[in-house]
Amino acid sequence: MNLANDLEDLVIAEVLQRWPKTAEIFNQYNTACVGCPISEYCTMATAVEAYGLDGPSFLADMKKTIENA
């Protein structure tokens, strides 16, 4: 997987399952993604849009956390 290209398209529940430490980043950015019943359907790009996040910063923090896991 090319993480830089694919992270936006991953479903949030999959990200949390594969890399549990990413929960810290979701919380740091004040999202309600951790424990959300629709996280099985939303992509990372959806979260960026829904919460009005700074996408590049959010995804960079996610990538860093995943790479260090």
Domain interval for residue 19: 3-67
| % residues pLDDT > 70 (the chain) | 93
Rounded to two decimals, what is the model's pTM? 0.89
| % residues pLDDT > 90 (the chain) | 87
Q: How far is CA 63 from CA 37, 57, 66, 67, 69, in A?
A: 24, 10, 5, 6, 10
State how many domains the chain has. 1
pLDDT band at 49 (very low <50, low <70, confident <90, very high): very high
Q: What is the DSSP letter of 69?
A: -
pLDDT digits (tens, 9 = 90+) for 21-46: 999 999 999 999 999 999 999 999 99
User: The domain spanning residue 48 has which CATH number?
Assistant: 1.10.3910.10
